[in-house]
Amino acid sequence: MTIQNTGRLDGKNALVTGATRGIGRGIAEAFASEGATVGVNYLPDEAEAGRAEEIVSSIESNGGSATAVPGDVSDPDSVSSMIEMYHDDAGAIDILVNNAGILTQCSFADMDVETWDETIDTDLRGVFLVTRTAIDDLLDSEGVVINIASQLGVKGGTELVHYSAAKAGVIGFTRALARELSPSIRVNAIAPGPIETDMIDDLTDEWKTEKTDELPMGRLGRVKDITPTAVFLASDDASYYTGQVLSPDGGDAMH
């Protein structure tokens, strides 16, 4: 990846949660290419730390600016430490992307409480915790929040009740917070369709085939299908957008 700074996010500090792979990594790299100083958040463990440092090194070697910041979005103390570390390394946050999430496939009849709680804690509670902890920064900078939801939060998904519920919650959170914080902070969401990342690796081949067959565009999405929407929402080009859910999903959930 070669960083070509077009300046749309020059001078901005952006924190992207869950930024070591998939959509999060793509957004972090895209923001760096637009001039932002990017916080690459990762779940604190040795393997994830290595991935985060590799991404930071790649961004910096190509002319961008980034820093690795550990933090478990489902844990309040860990989130506070993450925000403090980003402050020390880069400064206050202008753009927050709540991307961190998990996805498991399980029938509702077989779902235990632990599976439900783990998904809600990361995919919905994490959005609340990180946004709440960063709110003073965002109010001071009249900043931007971008929440990564899912088309399944709109239409639901078989054997994905827990994930669909969490992402529907993210959409409701986005719209309510946008009303509460406007015009100081713009809050929007992206609801991607199924994207070719390791997040869907554990889903069955049957599920992937059926999903591809039902998509009007006839293919699963790619990370590069999502990142332009994130850059747009983070930039001044989207200055009149708030409370919106943009859906690069191949036509899966038309609404």
Distance of CA 185 to the CA centre of its chain: 17
Rg (CA), the chain: 17
3-class SS at 197?
coil
Could you tell me which residue, 46 or 201, shows the higher pLDDT?
Answer: 46
Please state, in angstroms and rounded to a whole number, the distance separating the CA atoms of residues 12 and 38.
9
Is 160 among the domain residues? Answer: yes
pLDDT, one tens digit per residue, over 98-148 is: 999 999 999 999 999 999 999 999 999 999 999 999 999 999 999 999 999
Q: What percent of the chain has pLDDT over 90?
A: 89
**Band of the pLDDT at 5, cuts 50, 70, 90?**
low
**Band of the pLDDT at 203, cuts 50, 70, 90?**
confident
Is 60 among the domain residues? Answer: yes
pLDDT at 1 over 50: no
Model pTM above 0.75: yes
Q: Is 240 among the residues known to form the active site?
A: no
pLDDT at 200 over 90: no
Is 231 among the domain residues? Answer: yes
| CA contacts within 13 A on the Cβ side of 71 | 32
37, 96 Cβ separation under 8 angstroms: no
**Domain range spanning residue 138?**
13-246
Considering the candidates 42, 86, 163, 241, report the single residue annotated as catalytic. Answer: 163
Work out how many domains the chain is built from and give that number.
1
Is 251 among the domain residues? Answer: no
Is 127 among the domain residues? Answer: yes
Please state, in angstroms and rounded to a whole number, the distance separating the CA atoms of residues 102 and 86.
23
CATH of the domain at 229: 3.40.50.720
